[in-house]
């Protein structure tokens, strides 16, 4: 079977329905129609284990009962079958609801920083990059060791970040205990919360897709939303802060939390993101005095 017919077969198997049609959405995504009128999406993951990690993350996020998550029908090897999201326009009202729901998701918590979703592998992914879910109880030390320094080393090895620039990022990691703000409990993070993974539903509710879910600091999800832009972000933040106020000085810590996704992008996509990461590190050091 080719990849399209294989997608239909796995969709039929996990939903128990007859396939009535299919439409490729991209090289990795196929939309499959079912005989009961529903439509599902079959995603072909980029690496072995990535589909299982994504399925576990989606289920863990859905278990919080807050932000809406497409239902997972099953995972088979590199293929993941989920409900299709009927999309509509973004709106200020939906953004406000999303902010409140995101606060609820974070408050659902995690056993520790770096904890994988139940059933999820320790060796997971963020986009195309490997992401190891090693655990820790102290956020600054865990964040440096498992979310910043591994990608910094990868960027240095690739020549994307220069040695002198890397020293500034390392200094931020050394000073994280004083830069991180008040201690927070582990939050249940989406983990890859850029605008492309925020779908504005036709019913006025946001759905989240493609997580790199793990236990982390709630400000990391918010910083990632700001990094790549999000419609009505001011309303998202207003809804969030209404439901769960943020610790004082959170706006000054945005760059610290953006180091992780920026370095991931530097490893994957090159020098432009490396420059942004170095700028974020140097800004954090200047603010620290």
Contact 58/76 with Cβ under 8 angstroms? no
Contact 80/42 with Cβ under 8 angstroms? yes
Q: What is the CA radius of gyration of the chain?
A: 19
Structure tokens at 74: 């099953």
State the chain's maximal CA–CA distance in angstroms: 64
Structure tokens at 82: 């989920």
Contact 161/266 with Cβ under 8 angstroms? yes
Alpha-carbon span 174 to 162, nearest angstrom: 19
Q: What distances in angstroms separate CA 113 from CA 126, 142, 224, one per listed residue?
A: 16, 7, 17
Catalytic residues: 192
- Residue whose pair of structure tokens reads 């994988």 in the numeric block: 116
């Amino acid at each position: 079977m080719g990849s399209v017919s294989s997608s239909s077969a796995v969709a039929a198997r996990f939903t128990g329905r007859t396939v009535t049609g299919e439409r490729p959405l991209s090289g990795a995504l196929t939309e499959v129609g079912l005989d009961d009128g529903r439509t599902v999406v079959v995603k072909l993951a980029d690496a072995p284990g990535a589909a299982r990690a994504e399925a576990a993350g989606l289920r863990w996020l859905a278990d919080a009962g807050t932000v809406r998550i497409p239902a997972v029908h099953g995972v088979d090897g590199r293929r993941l079958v989920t409900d299709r999201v009927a999309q509509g326009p973004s709106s200020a009202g939906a953004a406000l609801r999303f902010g409140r729901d995101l606060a609820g998701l974070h408050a659902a918590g995690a056993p520790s920083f770096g904890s994988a979703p139940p059933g999820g592998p320790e060796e997971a992914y963020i986009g195309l990059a490997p992401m190891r879910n090693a655990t820790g109880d102290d956020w600054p030390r865990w964040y440096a060791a498992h979310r910043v320094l591994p990608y910094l080393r990868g960027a240095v090895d690739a020549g994307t970040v220069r040695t002198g620039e890397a020293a500034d990022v390392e200094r931020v990691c050394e000073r994280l205990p004083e830069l991180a703000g008040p201690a927070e409990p582990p939050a249940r993070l989406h983990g890859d919360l850029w605008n492309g993974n925020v779908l504005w539903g036709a019913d006025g509710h946001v759905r989240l897709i493609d997580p790199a879910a793990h236990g982390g600091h709630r400000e990391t999800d918010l910083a990632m939303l700001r990094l790549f832009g999000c419609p009505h972000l001011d309303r998202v933040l207003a809804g969030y802060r209404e439901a769960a106020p943020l610790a004082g000085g959170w706006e000054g810590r945005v760059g610290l939390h953006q180091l992780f996704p920026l370095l991931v992008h530097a490893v994957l996509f090159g020098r432009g993101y490396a420059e942004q990461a170095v700028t974020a590190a140097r800004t954090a050091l200047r603010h620290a005095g």
